[in-house]
Amino acid sequence: MQKIIILDFGSQTTQLIGRRVRELDTFCEILPYNKFPADDPSVIGVILSGSPFSVHDPQAFRVDLSQFVGRIPVLGICYGAQFIAHEGGGKVERTNTREYGRANLQSFDKENPLFEGFDANSQVWMSHGDTITAIPADCHAIASTADVKYAAYASDRHPLWAVQFHPEVFHTTQGKDLLRNFVVNICGSRQEWSPASFVETTVAELKQQLGDDRVILGLSGGVDSSVCAVLLNRAIGDRLTCIFVDHGMLRKNEFNKVMDAYKGLGLNVIGVDASQKFFADLEGVSDPEQKRKIIGRDFVEVFNAEAKKITDAKWLAQGTIYPDRIESLSITGMVIKSHHNVGGLPKEMHLQLCEPLKWLFKDEVRRVGYQLDMPERLIKRHPFPGPGLAVRILGDITPEKVRILQEADDIYIESMLQYVCEDGEVLYDKIWQAGAVLLSTVRSVGVMGDERTYEHPVALRAVTSTDAMTADWAHLPYDFMAKVSNEIINKVRGVNRVCYDISSKPPSTIEWE
């Protein structure tokens, strides 16, 4: 299959470039800046990402451009554009102020294939501290803004283009057009990457990979593991055994709801209620990282004990997706974020690893779910943390605190599922992730009837995002928030105050712990 290689120089938006290319039904792979696969004949184009570095920094990432320039089409973005200019004899200089934010293309070469279909004064998004003040002798400018002379340039000798703005971000209004021009028109993508082709190819590969072997899969109730299970079930049928562990900190009635949903899909699922063990081991523990470690350790113990009963199993399947793998190892080899699906296998299990979704972004997983005719309620589920409500309870964990939070969270989420916005879309579907947080280390004064209360506040959290790398707080309708607040305070014993979290990521995280 044809592919675009995206060389990652450390930009925060590299994943977004990948998502945009995939939206063009073209397979792409994000690789460290120094890992270009020179011998891969399926590569039809290369994109160089942005970077937190200046080309003048001693630690700046560098690549040998001769590996691909002149051989296949190349597009440099921001740092990529500056690096190409710098290496080609041009000049990149520091500016007194960062060129950051919206700008408009005052002029561009309408005849250049990169800008085919562009409108006059098309808006772009700049984000750089250096700027190109001279381009290589064998290049010519193809776009400029009021402040940036070389907003884009192209080579006279090679299929090479470079832009100092970010076409992958939302604020570049015709960014997708530019990427389509490069990927489809210039590189010649046949646009073969689709949910249907992925399902067909993956099922065939799984049948060949797994043969008659038995596979174990840990289910979480989330969209990734659910799609993974249905995909495997289509390939190997009842030779797949799924294990769903209830650690006692799921959402209200979630264990039974999810088990019923899985049975409706014809999956072979073993449900394990291990809540007593988790609560006992968490007693008195309030440190967030310690809570996570205890839950992770106990989950592995419970899962392994159940998995060992399936003596003929040879594979462990996981719902690892592409962002999990990118986040877990940076281009410098330093771990950015440890992820539960990329930590390797316990040695005592003696199982091989199977990851059918390892090349997919989250939105692609959902598209595959639709292709597999899965229930919409499973496909559209918001992400939910592995430790569950334990990371949404500040302080130590008790069954009573979990009960309080489950009740408040249930009112919040169910109200969101029932609220229809003015545009006709259900509010829940507009949100990337939502949930309630119990501030169990805080008590606030309230009045209910003629009585003074001294109970806990609940904070509501809702964010919009595309990949959870960054997130904005959701501007929920006031009438919705008023209704939810009143209902929580009136119906959930132990809560007398409701707050709304209006912080974005960064600087905050989506979860409180």
Look up residue 202 and give its amino acid.
T
- Round to whole Å and give the CA distance between 458 and 436: 7
Known active-site residue 382: no
**Amino acid occupying residue 134:** A
CA distance 38 to 358: 22
DSSP 3-state of 19: helix
Q: For residue 392, what are the contacts with CB-CB under 8 A and spacing of at least 6?
A: 385, 405, 409, 435, 436, 437, 438, 511, 512, 513
Question: At residue 495, what is the residue type?
Answer: V
**Cα 393 to Cα 125, 298, 328, 370, distances in angstroms:** 39, 19, 26, 34
> If residue 139 lies in a helix (H) or strand (E), which one and from where to where?
strand 139-144
Per the annotation, the verdict on 128 as an active-site residue is no
The catalytic position among 28, 86, 128, 166 is 166
Q: Which long-range contacts (CB under 8 A, 24 or more apart) does 413-419 make?
A: 413/251, 415/480, 415/483, 415/484, 415/487, 416/462, 416/480, 419/477, 419/480
**Measured distance CA(76)–CA(172) in Å, rounded:** 16
CA distances from 147 to 68, 87, 109, 387, 390 (A): 31, 23, 17, 49, 50
* Contact (Cβ atoms closer than 8 angstroms) between residue 129 and residue 97: no
Q: Are 99 and 92 in contact (CB under 8 A)?
A: no
Active-site residue flag, 87: no
Cα angle 112-114-118, degrees, rounded to a multiple of 5: 90
Q: Is residue 72 left, alpha or beta, with left meaning phi > 0 and alpha meaning psi from -120 to 50?
A: beta
Q: For residues 331 and 61, is the Cβ–Cβ distance under 8 A? A: yes
Tokens describing residue 282: 């968490």
Q: What separation in angstroms does the CA of 265 have from each of 167, 260, 316?
A: 40, 9, 20
Q: What's the CA gap between 257 and 263, in Å, rounded?
A: 10
- Residue 280, classified by CB atoms within 10 Å of its CB into exposed (0-12), middle (13-18) or buried (19+), is exposed
- On the CB side of 366, how many CA atoms lie within 13 Å of its CA? 14
Set 99, 168, 455, 513: catalytic member: 168
Positions marked catalytic: 78, 166, 168
